[in-house]
Amino acid sequence: MIGLLGACGGDPGGSDAASDAASDAASGATGGAETAGEESGAPPSESDSGDGDPGESDTAESDSGTPVDLPEEPEPPLYTGDPLPEAPPGEWNWVDVPGAKCIDGSPAGIGVRYGISDELVIFFEGGGGCFNEATCGLFYASFANFDQLTFDLIWQNTVLQGGLFSTTNADNPVRDWNFIYVPYCTGDVHAGAAPNTSVPGFAFGAPQQFVGYSNVHEFLDRIVPTFEGTSHVLVTGISAGGFGAAFNYDRIADAFGGSKVTLIDDSGPPLTDPYLVPCLQQTWRDLFNLDATLPADCAECFSDDGGGVYQLAHYLADKHADQTLGLITSEQDLVIRTFFGYGVQDQGGQQCPPGIIELPMKGPYFKAGVYSLRAELSGHDNWGTYLQGGTSHTSISFLSYYLNNVNGIRMVDWVANMLEGQTSHVSP
């Protein structure tokens, strides 16, 4: 911060009374300015530290009188919450996280399972979306009120035991890792920062809390202090959680700046424009406030027509060139085709706002979009893709993680290679 410069005022030969009067006047003026600033709510000036003392200068003088730049002070840590509670390895535990909330405003939290290594998996759950009357009507009930009871009764003893969650399958490269489970209860692909929002045509439960991205900040405030110094973080998720893993990867990689941070997005393909039509992207931008959660310095992510979300993939590859990024998807994923179909009319035009009932995007059209995306990603050495034939949706948290085989390459082996930094593009 640039320091305040003193000014020589007054006659050196003046009387003590005059000096005292000048001093009192200056003191009163300073006090008045501080009071005015406090009353108006104005922030301290750049040259003021905020406590009434001049700020420290960012320059100094050498012995010869030449200005010398001082080193910048390090930024304070962004995540400073309490570490997560300790627990025995191998047991899932639910942790309420104050400040995090579901779409209906109910409290949210995360699942934690400690492993026997220092590496960490952050897994984003999937489960639909809420952006119009039809989608919110289908999925709203599944988003609301995800708490410890939901976690204990439904998830930890079933869903969180298979696929990459397995601690017993020797083929699983992350079987010994620590796990964070981020539930999906906001309907915004973990990317929203829009509290108290109403969905046009959907009055139930209004207003909605599209705060998935905001929640992740609260989660990281506990996760980062707990696993500070970890050697490797895998950021992954399925479906909406695949999109969420990609949307949140940048800040997770920054938070664990000294670590290897790998991205595996399962079934959350950000298709290129025009396959993912810009007007549908604009609908999500407006409803979820995506323009506030996409990286501000990703200029290409913000197109005038609402498109450009896929440019995030290029941004991540360029900014995190020493990290490994991966995408898993089926060539004609029926679930994602259904959601993307809300913005498509006649497979090439745009229908916005999204219709109440819409047919899925046609399979060949979606497939063309998948290969258009892969062509973009293949321009980066640190992106890899695993494409499967057919219409299936999500794999890594299920048995298919071990069974799926494309041209002799099992998915689990491809993931293991990606964790070692060995990227490849696999397809039928």
**What are the structural domains of the chain?**
16-69 (no CATH), 92-426 (3.40.50.1820)
pLDDT at residue 107 is higher than 90: yes
State mean pLDDT over 37-55.
38
Residue 154 CA, chain-centre distance (Å), reads 26
Q: Rg for the chain (alpha carbons), in Å?
A: 26
State mean pLDDT over 240-250.
99
The whole-angstrom separation of Cα 101 and Cα 118 is 29
pLDDT confidence of 154, banded at 50, 70, 90? Answer: confident
Residue whose structure tokens are 């898993």: 328
61-65, 177-181, 221-225: the lowest-pLDDT one: 61-65
Residue 336 has a pLDDT of: 97
State mean pLDDT over 233-241.
98
Of all residues in the chain, the percent with pLDDT exceeding 90 is 69
pLDDT at residue 36 is higher than 50: no
DSSP state of 153: I
Look at 384 and 19; give whichever has higher pLDDT.
Answer: 384
Residue 247 has a pLDDT of: 99
Mean pLDDT of the chain: 85
- Non-local (6+) Cβ contacts of 99 within 8 A are 218
Task: Classify 112 as helix, strand or coil.
Answer: strand
State mean pLDDT over 208-235.
98
Compute CA distances 411 → 175, 264, 402, whole Å: 15, 12, 6
Residue 354 has a pLDDT of: 62
Residue 71 has a pLDDT of: 62
Look at 154 and 212; give whichever has higher pLDDT.
Answer: 212
Q: Check if the beta carbon of residue 61 is closer than 8 Å to that of residue 67.
A: yes
pLDDT at residue 163 is higher than 80: yes
Compute CA distances 165 → 55, 177, 183, 237, whole Å: 51, 9, 15, 12
Look at 51 and 420; give whichever has higher pLDDT.
Answer: 420
Look at 220 and 10; give whichever has higher pLDDT.
Answer: 220
Of all residues in the chain, the percent with pLDDT exceeding 70 is 79
pLDDT confidence of 303, banded at 50, 70, 90? Answer: very high
51-60, 195-204, 225-234, 418-427: the lowest-pLDDT one: 51-60
What is the rounded (10 degree) CA torsion for 225, 228, 234, 237?
0
Residue 200 has a pLDDT of: 87
Nearest Cα neighbor of 388 from 369, 409, 373 is 409
Quick count: other Cβ atoms within 10 Å of Cβ 150?
A: 16
pLDDT at residue 230 is higher than 90: yes
pLDDT confidence of 348, banded at 50, 70, 90? Answer: low
pLDDT confidence of 394, banded at 50, 70, 90? Answer: very high
Angle at CA of residue 128, ends 343 and 418, nearest 5°: 100
pLDDT at residue 26 is higher than 60: no
Residue 264 has a pLDDT of: 99
Residue 355 has a pLDDT of: 59
pLDDT at residue 50 is higher than 70: no
β-strands 383-388, 325-330 pairing: parallel
